[in-house]
Chains A and B, each alone.
Chain A
Amino acid sequence: MIEFKKLHKSYPIGKKDSLHVLKGLDLKINEGEFVSIMGSSGSGKSTLLNIVGLLDTHDEGEYFLNEQKIEKLDEKKAAILRNKFLGFVFQSFNLIGYKTALENVALPLYYKGVGRKERQETALKYLDKVGLKNWATHLPNELSGGQKQRVAIARALVTNPKVVLADEPTGALDSTTTDSVMELLTDINNEGMTVFVITHEEEVAEQTDRVVRLKDGVIISDEITEKGKLTGRYV
């Protein structure tokens, strides 16, 4: 599903220097996996997610998304691929403030070119799935943090993508809501969705099946969690 070979990424600092963030990563994530990337801040985990999510480009190495090699992608192609294959969940939810929960969930379908009525129906179905059917007409600022993140998850799922990418999905939530959001992600994964989580919290990583630890742009470990062993996927 997702595969890197010797992936490099640097950011220019000033005119001459550059910061080498990712230093030749090799990683393969199969369809249906529930993977977390662990690392402290500055380890390069967010950069990795941005590259995976086609929100940013890599400098060197190869990146395959759904068997398709990602290179020289213009904005338009990237947008189409994002819409088709990827669903995003952000730490700060990134809901559009003036749109209702339902409209936020329906937005990716609009860019997919789905008709209005079908958009509404599908979006409502996914809101129901995250338990917020009754909140459909509410604006984001009328929802709690956990509810907002659920709306964001519904939005990530609505196009039925190949991968859900979650960037510190629980970073802004308390422990109770963190658990409920992780449960939701687990449910989604159990239905066969590939879920890719970035976090710096051990408790969150523990609830995934596989933990990849990143330090200074290098993978230092790649382990199956206790929970992952129970799935029987990694034998």
Chain B
Amino acid sequence: MFDLDRWQEIFQTLSKNKLRTVLSGFTIAFAILLFTLLFGIGNGLKNTFAQQFAGDSDKSVYIRGGRTTKPFKGLQSGRRIQFKNDDSKFINENFENEIEFFSPNVERFNVLTIYKGEQNRYVVRGVYPDYQPLESAVIEQGRFLSYLDLEKKSKVVAIGRMVEKDLFGKFSALGKNITMDGISYKVIGVFSDPGGDRDERFIYTPFTTAQGMYRTNDYLDRFGLTYNPNLSVDEALAFSSQLTKLLKEKHNIHPRDQAAIRVQNYAEGTRNVQQFMGVLNVIILFIGIGTLVAGIIGISNIMVYIVKERTKELGIRKSLGATPRSIIGMIMTESIFITALAGYAGLMIGIFSLKAIGSSLEDYFIVNPSVETYVVVGATIVLIIAGTIAGYIPAKRAAKIKPIEALNAN
């Protein structure tokens, strides 16, 4: 299969005909460069959108109480809706199948937090262990809250990475005690959050601890939950409206009172983003394929021209004993070699350019522009096939020309 002589012959032809080689190589390299840049930038755009929604699980639903705006069943408007622990039970009992993770939530803002000399104010949330997947928080050290912590109303906290940075500097916060509003809590875990700095300045403490500390009775502020991942977007939306309806009934709220219970369902946003990304994908694919096709046509044209230009040479080779097969083999190997090599070069230039300019494009909603390995491999394969076809047709034609006609060509 590998014939050193044949390759030497081809290398010589390519290197002695530099302009021709460079010209055809350039066409291919440029097409692939464009293709790579386009795909990379398209992916960058997609990454931006993915990141915008990365802060929380994309299946999250948040419910908080508001004030009624319509009188109902003898109750006046302007009444404040206060959720309690029995609402947690109510939701869980009614929607066992629809809910994956669930956590009621007590929230306290501007909590003065002190560690030794350092102090700052943070949002403190009392939550269930389920809150971790809701926020998509990732434990970096230690652990998140447990049900045992809840049961014992332990004075423990899981703090965000930025809280640790603010208060502990370079040191680990794990196992240390911090003081929040004068009471000491032990740090049992440090987490990071794809939502960024804001989400990493939260402090989580067991729901029961926070409720005991900050709320009278069994009052709570809001619910966070994720719906069963098996639900479609439409089913998820139906679920949250059903949930709202039941809660309204339970709290004697007018069915069309929009302010009394505020529901934030990420499913809707997810659907829009998915549709947008789908359209973006199609556009990128379309333009990408267009670029490749243009490159293929370019290389085909050049190959036709090259074969025409070389007709006389091919005639000479034939008169010296070159078989049609060796002529086809020679032209095709040259073509495939140039396409593969130039295509690879274009690909590499593209990938490195993406790396080089990547970070400076963030202002233009393009984050981490890059191409996936399968796209790279796929494009290379397409190229090699294109090179084969681009080389084969003119090579076949060249091999068919009678040597005498080829020799007389000028």
Contacts and interface: CB of A to CB of B under 8 A. Distances in A.
B96 interface: no
B133 interface: no
Interface stretch (B41-49, B112-120, B318-326, B380-388): B318-326
A130 B294 CA distance: 51
A18 interface: no
A179 to B, nearest CB: 26
Contacts of B376: none
Interface of A: 50, 53, 55-56, 75-76, 79-80, 82-84, 88, 90, 94-96, 98-99, 103, 107-108, 110-112, 115-116, 155, 159
Contact of A98 (B8, B17, B324): B17
Contact of A108 (B17, B313, B321, B399): B321
Interface string B172-199: 0000000000000000000000000000
Contact of B323 (A53, A80, A103): A80
B404 A108 contact: no
Contacts of B317: 96, 107, 111
A42 to B, nearest CB: 15
Contacts, number: 72
Interface of B: 4-5, 8-9, 12-13, 16-17, 312-313, 315-326, 399-400, 402-404, 407
A55 B407 CA distance: 10
Contacts of A108: 320-321
A55 B320 contact: no
A98 B323 contact: no
Contacts of B13: 98
Given A55-B407, A56-B404, A110-B5, A79 B313 contact: no
27 contacts: A55-B403, A56-B403, A56-B404, A75-B318, A76-B325, A79-B318, A79-B321, A79-B322, A80-B321, A82-B318, A82-B320, A90-B407, A94-B315, A94-B319, A96-B313, A96-B317, A98-B16, A108-B320, A110-B9, A111-B317, A111-B320, A111-B321, A112-B321, A116-B4, A116-B8, A155-B320, A159-B321
B397 to A, nearest CB: 13
B59 to A, nearest CB: 66
Contacts of B323: 75-76, 79-80, 111
A83 B399 CA distance: 16
Contacts of A103: 12
Contact of A55 (B9, B16, B17, B404): B404
Given A90-B407, A94-B407, A79 B9 contact: no
Contact of A50 (B5, B16, B312, B404): B404
Contacts of A111: 317, 320-323, 326
B15 to A, nearest CB: 9
Given A55-B403, A111-B317, 4 more contacts: A55-B407, A94-B312, A94-B319, A95-B316
Contacts of A96: 313, 316-317
**Most central of B9, B12, B321, B404 by chain A CB within 10 Å:** B321
B319 A55 contact: yes
A161 to B, nearest CB: 10
B21 to A, nearest CB: 12
Given A56-B404, A75-B323, A110-B5, A99 B318 contact: no
B74 to A, nearest CB: 101
A82 B321 CA distance: 5
Contacts of A75: 318, 323-324, 399-400
A55 B317 CA distance: 12
A165 to B, nearest CB: 9
Given A96-B313, A96-B316, A83 B402 contact: no
Contacts of B315: 94
A234 B404 CA distance: 33
Listed from nearest, the 3 A-B pairs whose CB atoms lie closest are A83-B321, A98-B16, A111-B321
Contacts of A115: 5
A112 B16 CA distance: 23
Contacts of A94: 312, 315-316, 319, 407
A111 B403 CA distance: 15
Nearest to A103: B12
Contact of A82 (B4, B16, B319, B400): B319
Contacts of A99: 12, 16
A80 B321 CA distance: 6
A115 to B, nearest CB: 8
A110 B402 CA distance: 21
Contacts of A82: 318-321
A86 B278 CA distance: 66
A80 B326 CA distance: 11
**Most central of A75, A83, A99, A115 by chain B CB within 10 Å:** A75
A96 B319 CA distance: 12
Contacts of A112: 321
A83 B320 contact: yes
Contacts of B12: 98-99, 103
Contacts of B318: 55, 75, 79, 82
B402 A55 contact: yes
